[in-house]
Structure 1
Amino acid sequence: MPADLAVIGLGHLGLPLAQAATAAGIATVGHDDDPAVVAELRSGRSPADGTLTAAEVRRMISAGFRATTEPSELGRARTVVVCVPAPLGEDHAPDLRALEATARVLAAGLRPRTTVILESTVHPGATEDFLQPLLEEGSGLRAGRDFHLAYSPSRLDPGNRSYGYGNTPKVVGGLTPACTEAAAAFYGRLTERVVRARGPREAETVKLLETNYRHVNIALANEMAVFCHDTGVDLWDVIRCAETKPFGFQAFRPGPGVGGHAAPLDPNYLPRQGRSPGYPLRMVELAQEVNGRMPRYIIQRCTTLLNEHGKSARGARILLLGVTYKPDHADQEGSPAPEIASRLIDMGAQLSFHDPYAHQWRAGGRPVPRADSLYEAAAEADLTVLLQHHRTYDLQGLAVKAQLLLDTRGASPAGAAHRL
C-alpha cells in the first residue's frame, strides 16, 4: 500500500517525525539502511538511544507505521523527508556521505509532483548546492518544476515535557514559493504554526544560529562557573537571582560538557569553494574551546577534592552518576561522561557508574562496571560525581550517604555537596 509520507533515517530526527505523522493519520513508511534498526522497530522494541519507548513504537505500528530497508518504497510516497545523520568530521565540516547515498537511492525512484524535504543538520547552501544536483541528475527531473524541494531545520528537544512536535513552530524554506507552500502544507498537518523562510539557505542558517546560540551561551556559563569557583562566589545563587530579570537575560547553566547531536558549526569550514567568509566565527571557536575543556576541569576538581581529604586519584573509588547527555533520557550522543571516565581510569582510579537509562556502558572502549545498589555504591566510593541529574536521583539522600559528592549540575541543595 503506498504511503503518503516516507521518512528516511529512523534515528533521533526521523522517528519522532514518523510518530507525529502516524498520530495525525498520515500513512507513513520509515526507511533505514540498518537492518538491525528496522528489525528492532518491527518487533516493537524501543530504540537503543531511547528516542521512543517500546509502547510508543507499538502504538505507531498498530496505527499503520511500517519500517523497511527497501528503497522501492520511497518512490511511492507523496512526501519524502530526509533525516539521515550528517555529523561533523575531523575537519569540522559536515560529513555528507550518508546524505549523498540517500539522495542517489531516492533519485532513482523519484516521481513528478513529489515533495522532498531535508531535515538533516547541514551547512547553509547544502540543499541547493549538494542535494538538488544529485536528485536532478539521478531522476532526470527538475527541482522547482517537476518536484518540490525544501529545507526544514529540526527543533526537537528530546524529553521536553512542555514542547513537542505539535506546539513547536516549524520553519520551512523552499527552492521556489510553490516548494515552500508544499512543505508548509505538509507540516501544517503536524504543527500548530509553520514559519516560512525566504528560501532554503535562510532555513538552513536558522539551524546554524540556534545551535551556535546554545553552545556560545553554555560556554559563557561554563566560564562563569570556573571564575566563580576561583573567587568563592556561589554561581548557582547568581543564576537564581539573574533569571528573575524579565527582559534581556536567558538563564543557561554550566555543566561537564554540552552533548547532543547538533554540534556547533563554523561556516569557515563549509565544503564549498569561494562561499565561506574566509574568517572564522570567533565566538563559535571560543565556545568550542571553552566547552571542550570542561571535562578536564571536572577531573581537576575531582583530584583537588580527593587531595583535600587525604586521598589520591590513583586507587580512588569513584562513582559516576548519569552518563547520558540529557536528564531523563537514554541518548548518550556527545555526552562528556566517556572522556571524564577515560581520564580517571588513566589516572588509576577504580571507576563505576550508575544510570537508570544505561545498563551497560563503555568509556574509551573499556567496560565500566555498573553499580546495582546506588546508595551502597555511594557510601563505599571515595568520591561520587553527578554528571547528569535524572529525576530519580534523590540528591539530598545521596549527599548523606556519599563520602564526597561533586555536583556538576547544581541540582543538589545548597551546602549538601560540592557544586561546580
Structure 2
Amino acid sequence: MSENFNRLLERIESRDAKVGILGMGYVGLPLSVAAFDAGFPVLGFDVDETKIASLNAAQSPIERVANSRLATMREEGLFEVTSDFSRTSECDLLIICVPTPLGKHREPDLSYVVQTVEAIKPNLRKGQLVSLESTTYPGTSRDLIKPILESTGLESGADFFIAYSPEREDPGNPDFETRTIPKVVGGDGDHALQAATAFYGAVVEKAVPVSSCEVAEAVKLTENIFRSVNIALVNELKIIYARLGINVWDVIDAAATKPFGFMPFYPGPGLGGHCIPIDPFYLTWRAREFQVPTRFIELAGEVNLQAPYFVIEEVAKALSDRKHKSVAGSRILLLGVAYKKNVEDTRESPGFVLIEELERRGAKVDFYDPYVPVIPNLREHPEMVGRKSEDFDPENFSEYDAILLCTDHDNVDYEAIAERADLIVDTRNVFDHSKNNIVQA
C-alpha cells in the first residue's frame, strides 16, 4: 500500500505526475490552466471532436481562458486534448469534470459520471488517483465510483485512490479564479486524502481537507442550497413588496448597511447556471432514501422555478396598461440569454423559459446578447439552438412593443436603450425607475 502511495506522492511533489482532466468545459478547462501553471503536464479528455480540435489549435471556447494561455501551454508541449480514453493509463491523476444534470422528474442524472468512470476502468492502474469534481449527492464516490473501479480487481486505498473535490468556479467573477479559490478535498481513506491534498495544494492557494468524500460532497450542496434558499426568499419578498408599492432593491440596499446579521441577495427573473437550479434536488433525492423530509429546500426550488412566470405576468400587465396590447402579436426584445452577466454561459438560463413562454402566448421574440451571438447546443430547449442575436442598434429598439431585461451585462449601453425604447421591463434594477417607460419586475 505504501509503495503505490509513496510513488504517487513523489511524482506530485516533483511535478512529474501527468494530470488527466476528463471534461473540457467550464470546470475542466480552467483547472487545466491552473494545473499547468503549477508545473504539471496536462492531458485533457473530451468526446466533442470539434472542441478538441479547437483546443489543440489554442482556440478557447470560454472567455475565462484566453487563447494566448492555451497557445503557451501548447508551445511548451505540456497540454493536449484527446478523445482516446485508453490514454488515461498515461495519467497519474484523473480529474472528472463532467455535467451532472437532472432527469425529467428532477432525479439525479449521473450518466456522464458513470460513462466516464467506465471509460477509465479498462486502463486503471496502480498508483493512480481518481478525483470527482462534478456536483453530486453524498455517497457517490463510495457507492458508485468505488465499486466500478474495484471491479477491475484493484483495491481503493491500496492500489489506487479515490477523492472528491467540489468545483467552485464562478464565471464572470473578476475577483477569483481557479487558483485563488480554496479547494475542499475529501478522500476514500488517509492516503487518498493526503495525495489529493498534495495535488490540489500545489494547484490552488489553499486546500481544505475534510474527513471523508461524503463531507466534501455535502459541502458543495450546502453552499448552493444556501444561495437557492436566500434567492427564493428575496424573489418572494419582491412579489410582496411590489404589491405594497415598495422597491425591493431599495429595501435590500438599506438592509445591507447593517454590519452584522444580514447578507444581501438580489431577486431576478429566475435561476441559471449548472449549480443553483440543480444541486438542491440532488440532496432532496438522496434524503428521500432515508425518509427525511426536505420541505424547506423544495419550497425554495418551487419559488425559484416560478420566478420567470411572475416576470411574464408583469410583461403582460405592462403591455396592457402602457400600450393597450396583449402579449399575443407583440414584438419583444429580450436583453441577455446568458445565465448571469459578463459570461457566455447559457446553462439553465431563465432567458429560455421567458422566450418559450412569451412565444407560447403568441409574441414574436428576438434577443440581444453580446456574449451569445448564437444559441449553442442545449439539453433543454433544443428548438432554440442556432438562433442568432440581434445587432445592437438602438434606432431599432422603438420598433419593439417591449424590451425585457433578463441579463445585465456590463458592456451594454442601457442609457441608449432607455432613450429610445417605448417600454422596458427591468428584472435587474439596471434602469432609472423614475422614468415613465420603465417597469420593475
Deviation at 1:364, TM superposition (A): 6.1
CA distance in structure 1 between the partners assigned to 2:418 and 2:69 by the alignment: 36
Q: 1:294 aligns with which of 296, 307, 329?
A: 307
Q: 1:120 aligns with which of 122, 125, 134?
A: 134
CA distance in structure 1 between the partners assigned to 2:125 and 2:416 by the alignment: 61
- Of the structure 1 ranges 95-104 and 251-260, higher mean CA displacement relative to structure 2 is found in 95-104
What letter is aligned with 1:151? Y
CA spacing shift, 1:221–1:56, aligned 2, 3 Å: farther
Tell me the residue number matched to 1:269: 285
Q: 2:220 aligns with which of 207, 213, 225?
A: 207
CA distance in structure 2 between the partners assigned to 1:205 and 1:374 by the alignment: 47
- Of the structure 1 ranges 150-159 and 339-348, higher mean CA displacement relative to structure 2 is found in 339-348
CA distance in structure 1 between the partners assigned to 2:207 and 2:157 by the alignment: 20
- Of the structure 1 ranges 364-373 and 235-244, higher mean CA displacement relative to structure 2 is found in 364-373
1:391 aligns to 2:410 (yes or no): yes
1:411 aligns to 2:424 (yes or no): no
Deviation string 1:332-362 (CA, Å, 9 cap, x unpaired) is: 0000111111111122212111100112238
CA spacing shift, 1:361–1:116, aligned 2, 3 Å: closer
Task: State the secondary structure of the residue aligned to 2:223.
Answer: helix
CA distance in structure 1 between the partners assigned to 2:355 and 2:66 by the alignment: 28
Deviation string 1:157-203 (CA, Å, 9 cap, x unpaired) is: 01110111122110001111221111010011111111111100000
Higher helix share: 2
1:306 aligns to 2:319 (yes or no): yes
CA distance in structure 1 between the partners assigned to 2:174 and 2:280 by the alignment: 28
For residues 341-352 of structure 1, the aligned pairs below 5 Å read 341-352=355-366
TM-score, normalised to structure 2's length? 0.89
Q: Is the 8 A contact 2:135 2:279 kept in 1?
A: no
- Of the structure 1 ranges 33-42 and 291-300, higher mean CA displacement relative to structure 2 is found in 33-42
Q: Is the 8 A contact 1:268 1:277 kept in 2?
A: no
TM-score, normalised to structure 1's length? 0.94
Deviation at 1:51, TM superposition (A): 5.4
Deviation at 1:369, TM superposition (A): 5.7
Q: Is the 8 A contact 1:4 1:28 kept in 2?
A: yes
Deviation at 1:277, TM superposition (A): 2.6
1:188 aligns to 2:201 (yes or no): yes
**Matched residue pairs, number?**
414
CA distance in structure 2 between the partners assigned to 1:313 and 1:364 by the alignment: 23
CA distance in structure 1 between the partners assigned to 2:292 and 2:262 by the alignment: 29
Taking only aligned residues, the RMSD between alpha carbons, in angstroms, comes to: 1.9
Task: State the secondary structure of the residue aligned to 2:366.
Answer: strand
CA distance in structure 1 between the partners assigned to 2:205 and 2:374 by the alignment: 39
1:137 aligns to 2:151 (yes or no): yes
For residues 125-274 of structure 1, the aligned pairs below 5 Å read 125-138=139-152, 140-262=153-275, 263-266=278-281, 267-270=283-286
CA spacing shift, 1:244–1:60, aligned 2, 3 Å: farther
Gaps of 5+ in 2: 1-15
What letter is aligned with 2:285? Y
Deviation string 1:63-112 (CA, Å, 9 cap, x unpaired) is: 42100011122111111111121211123222122211211221211121
Q: Is the 8 A contact 1:7 1:31 kept in 2?
A: yes
- Of the structure 1 ranges 275-284 and 230-239, higher mean CA displacement relative to structure 2 is found in 275-284
What letter is aligned with 1:61? R
CA spacing shift, 1:173–1:412, aligned 2, 3 Å: same
CA distance in structure 1 between the partners assigned to 2:180 and 2:74 by the alignment: 24
1:380 aligns to 2:399 (yes or no): yes
CA distance in structure 2 between the partners assigned to 1:297 and 1:113 by the alignment: 54
CA distance in structure 2 between the partners assigned to 1:207 and 1:278 by the alignment: 22
Q: Is the 8 A contact 2:329 2:362 kept in 1?
A: yes
CA spacing shift, 1:373–1:395, aligned 2, 3 Å: closer
CA distance in structure 2 between the partners assigned to 1:104 and 1:361 by the alignment: 31
Gaps of 5+ in 1: none
Q: 2:348 aligns with which of 314, 334, 341?
A: 334
Identity, % of aligned positions: 37
Deviation at 1:255, TM superposition (A): 0.6
For residues 18-167 of structure 1, the aligned pairs below 5 Å read 18-47=32-61, 50=63, 52-63=65-76, 64-138=78-152, 140-167=153-180
Q: Is the 8 A contact 2:373 2:388 kept in 1?
A: no
CA spacing shift, 1:321–1:75, aligned 2, 3 Å: same
Q: Is the 8 A contact 1:15 1:51 kept in 2?
A: no
Deviation at 1:212, TM superposition (A): 0.9
CA distance in structure 2 between the partners assigned to 1:400 and 1:85 by the alignment: 42
What letter is aligned with 1:216? V
Task: State the secondary structure of the residue aligned to 1:265.
Answer: helix
Tell me the residue number matched to 2:8: none
Q: Is the 8 A contact 1:151 1:173 kept in 2?
A: yes
Deviation at 1:280, TM superposition (A): 3.0
- Of the structure 1 ranges 299-308 and 350-359, higher mean CA displacement relative to structure 2 is found in 350-359
